[in-house]
Chain A
Amino acid sequence: MIPGVDGFMYPNEVELQWSILIVLYPYITGLVAGAFILASLERVFKVEAVKPTYRLALLTALAFLLVAPLPLQLHLGHPERSMEMYLTPHSSSAMAMFGFVYLWYLTVVLLLEVWLEFRADIVRFSQTTTGLTKVVYRALTLGSQNISPAARIIDDKVGYAVTVIGIPSAFLLHGYVGFIFGSVKANPWWSTPLMPIVFLFSAMVSGIAAVMLLYIVAMKVKKRVIDMRCVDTIAKYLFYTFVIDFTLEMLDLIHRTYEADESFRSLDFMVHTRLMVSQIILQICLGTLVPLALLAANQLWRFREAARRAMYTVACSLTLMGIFAMRWNVVIGGQLFSKSFLGYTSYKMDLVTREGLFSAIGLMLLPFAIFFVLIKFLPPWPERETT
């Protein structure tokens, strides 16, 4: 008997190949895509109520996007060869496209939109600050000091166009991540055409929840007034997106159960045993049903402001935990059962290795450090409005 193994695994299957770092990869890219789509609500779809979070959403997306390739890089057996994916990409590989999708999204969409949005502030800071800070701001102006009304109109038009391009790009970024898993025909837990669309909607859910939570926390920390109209509107969109996401996941579940192909009994057993806590309790009950109930209650009844804030904070926190559990169940769950459907292995997470728990915690904290630096340099809120 091999420790941690029940039944029969092909001998090379006992060891899991994709660790917690690969769980972080779709989680982080999902936050990016979701945050950007929330930002586009104001910019393209003219949902004025969410305007207070527009800049915050852009900076959140940027902070997480800068970290997105790091889990992959750390996971590689030969990180020094990663540039080969850009230099000699294999055209039939879904994974080979990651570098290009990432670069497109980072440079053409996000950096450009952030720069256009903050350009006027950058120019102003470059004139009012001194020393090293001034040098940084001057560099960030990219040589353009023109912030006349006419120039700002052009910025706005270009920014609008970039956001319009950005929405399908955000869909592409995360739908593509879903395709990496959904196209593996050898693995029935992953192989479904629903995977990209489930990933996409869960990305929107996590990104919206992250920005909403960051907004509430930031306002608390800075002792500013929380714009409840804004938060209520975001909560409404979060609820709608969550309903679609949950419906798609349930459709997948019902389809698998009804079809009951050769893998069904094995996967069903896995869900009821090794994934009981992470899937049934954390993902579905605590991470989906509870936040959905809290959000639904707010659509049906009008609670007092303090109660709403508390309910939204709990709902967003549970949602973020639930989506993380979903990524865990996809990535780790997909490797716990044997492709012979006759056995199960277990995932033993390392602590201080390159792919261990501490690396994962570091990678999850890094976007917040970047976010902190970004909001210091590019304050996303106006200077007034303190309580």
Chain B
Amino acid sequence: MTHMDISRRDLFTVGGKLLLLASVGATLEQITGSETAPDAYKMADHWWGMIIDVDKCIGCGNCVRACSNENAVPKGYFRTWVERYQVEEGKENPRVDSPNGAIDGFPPNTDEHLKSFFIPKLCNHCADSPCVQVCPVGATFVSPDGVVMVDDTYCLGCRYCVQACPYGCRYLHPEKNTVDKCTLCYHRITKGLTTACCENCPTGARKLVDFKDPKDPVHEFLRQNKVQVLKPQMATKAKVYYKDLDGSVR
């Protein structure tokens, strides 16, 4: 056995070379990727919307609460809400209520004999959005995957879009002083999740759909059912479809 003298200088030289080698190795691993990365989200591959089965909605308000919590919606304002319709035969107008957006559900039905049903509402993410058209600076826009959103770092707070929305889906955020609305939980859907409202619906009355996905059940749904959008006379190309929507719904 030979005796080796290792000077301090040798130690630094060898140690330095080893460190360099380790760094290069680590960098190469990062570049080539030892794990397969998840599929990156491509906006052009999606065209989002929602389908709502009116008969399945029980008016529990879970969706409103989930939306409110998920998106920190200010109290008294609503990105989604539920309306209860009570239609009396022969009467011109239905009775409609939505106590506090139905965040706590509804009180019991006052008249069992009336035709009664619940209508969940949210931004219709219209392809021809009047709100997008009127925004003076383009702070409201439709994303390439079909979601209408507001850039709150750019919005002036003029509220022309609030006036232009036929469905009452927009409001001025009381703290930010910019317009706020449903984003279709964009932070979730771009990660492969569904929206907070759909995830928390106990009956599956509302479902997020991707019209560009050939495997999405929406295609079968639209083939099999009679569907309608809200206020079709507004010609906004709304992308929230309601199954068996009653004519009294506004």
Q: Hey, which bits of chain A sit against chain B, CB under 8 A?
A: 8-13, 15, 17-18, 72, 75-78, 81-82, 84-85, 88-90, 92-96, 98, 180, 184-187, 265, 334-335, 338-342
- Which B residues touch A82, using CB under 8 A? 156
Say yes or no: A340-B156 contact (C-beta < 8 A), given A8-B96, A17-B172, A96-B137.
Answer: no
A340 near B96 with CB under 8 A, answer yes
Closest beta carbon of chain B to A256's beta carbon, Å: 17
A76 near B158 with CB under 8 A, answer yes
A78 near B133 with CB under 8 A, answer no
Taking a contact as CB atoms closer than 8 A, the residue among B78, B136, B155, B167 that contacts A96 in the complex is B136
Say yes or no: A339-B172 contact (C-beta < 8 A), given A8-B96, A185-B234.
Answer: no
Taking a contact as CB atoms closer than 8 A, the residue among A8, A78, A81, A96 that contacts B98 in the complex is A8
B136 near A89 with CB under 8 A, answer yes
Say yes or no: A8-B97 contact (C-beta < 8 A), given A77-B156, A78-B178.
Answer: yes
- Which B residues touch A339, using CB under 8 A? 166-168, 250
Q: Does B71 touch A at the CB level, under 8 Å?
A: no
Can you sample 16 A-B contacts with CB below 8 Å? A8-B96, A10-B81, A11-B81, A12-B77, A72-B158, A76-B157, A77-B157, A78-B177, A89-B137, A93-B137, A95-B158, A96-B137, A186-B130, A334-B163, A335-B163, A339-B168
Residue of A with least CB distance to B168: A10
- Which A residues touch B165, using CB under 8 A? 186
Closest beta carbon of chain A to B156's beta carbon, Å: 5
B163 near A184 with CB under 8 A, answer yes
Q: Does B101 touch A at the CB level, under 8 Å?
A: yes
- Which B residues touch A13, using CB under 8 A? 168
Taking a contact as CB atoms closer than 8 A, the residue among A11, A96, A186, A265 that contacts B166 in the complex is A186
B169 near A12 with CB under 8 A, answer yes
Say yes or no: A187-B156 contact (C-beta < 8 A), given A12-B169, A85-B137, A342-B250.
Answer: no
Interface residue count on the B side (C-beta < 8 Å): 45
- Which A residues touch B158, using CB under 8 A? 72, 75-77, 95
Contact digits for B129-145, partner A, Cβ 8 Å, 1 yes 0 no? 01011111110000000
Most B C-beta atoms less than 10 A away, residue of A8, A9, A96, A184? A8
CA distance A158 to B164 in the complex (A): 42
Closest beta carbon of chain B to A187's beta carbon, Å: 6
- Which A residues touch B77, using CB under 8 A? 11-12
Taking a contact as CB atoms closer than 8 A, the residue among B96, B135, B163, B179 that contacts A93 in the complex is B135
- Which B residues touch A78, using CB under 8 A? 155-157, 177-178
B166 near A88 with CB under 8 A, answer no
Contact digits for B190-216, partner A, Cβ 8 Å, 1 yes 0 no? 000000000000000000000000000
Residue of A with least CB distance to B84: A8
Residue of B with least CB distance to A14: B76
Q: Does B93 touch A at the CB level, under 8 Å?
A: yes
Residue of A with least CB distance to B235: A185
A186 near B164 with CB under 8 A, answer yes
Most A C-beta atoms less than 10 A away, residue of B101, B132, B160, B234? B160
Residue of B with least CB distance to A90: B138
B136 near A11 with CB under 8 A, answer no
Closest beta carbon of chain B to A84's beta carbon, Å: 5
Q: Does B65 touch A at the CB level, under 8 Å?
A: no
Closest beta carbon of chain B to A298's beta carbon, Å: 41
Say yes or no: A95-B170 contact (C-beta < 8 A), given A18-B159, A186-B234, A342-B250.
Answer: no
CA distance A76 to B137 in the complex (A): 13
Say yes or no: A12-B171 contact (C-beta < 8 A), given A185-B130, A185-B234, A186-B166.
Answer: yes
Say yes or no: A81-B171 contact (C-beta < 8 A), given A93-B136, A339-B166, A342-B96.
Answer: no
- Which B residues touch A335, using CB under 8 A? 163
Say yes or no: A93-B168 contact (C-beta < 8 A), given A8-B96, A8-B98.
Answer: no
CA distance A25 to B145 in the complex (A): 38
Q: Does B154 touch A at the CB level, under 8 Å?
A: yes
- Which B residues touch A180, using CB under 8 A? 160
CA distance A94 to B77 in the complex (A): 27
CA distance A372 to B154 in the complex (A): 38
Q: Does B162 touch A at the CB level, under 8 Å?
A: yes
B250 near A12 with CB under 8 A, answer no
B133 near A92 with CB under 8 A, answer yes
- Which A residues touch B93, using CB under 8 A? 341-342
- Which A residues touch B137, using CB under 8 A? 81, 84-85, 88-90, 93, 96
Given contacts A12-B169, A89-B137, A184-B134, 4 further A-B contacts (CB under 8 A): A17-B162, A77-B158, A90-B137, A90-B138
Residue of B with least CB distance to A340: B250
- Which B residues touch A187, using CB under 8 A? 163
CA distance A17 to B157 in the complex (A): 10
CA distance A98 to B136 in the complex (A): 9
CA distance A8 to B119 in the complex (A): 14
Closest beta carbon of chain A to B78's beta carbon, Å: 5
B163 near A18 with CB under 8 A, answer yes
Closest beta carbon of chain B to A91's beta carbon, Å: 9
A95 near B168 with CB under 8 A, answer no
Residue of B with least CB distance to A266: B93
- Which B residues touch A11, using CB under 8 A? 77-78, 81, 98, 100-101, 168
Closest beta carbon of chain A to B8's beta carbon, Å: 63
CA distance A300 to B175 in the complex (A): 60
Residue of B with least CB distance to A81: B156
Closest beta carbon of chain A to B159's beta carbon, Å: 4
Closest beta carbon of chain A to B246's beta carbon, Å: 14
A12 near B156 with CB under 8 A, answer no
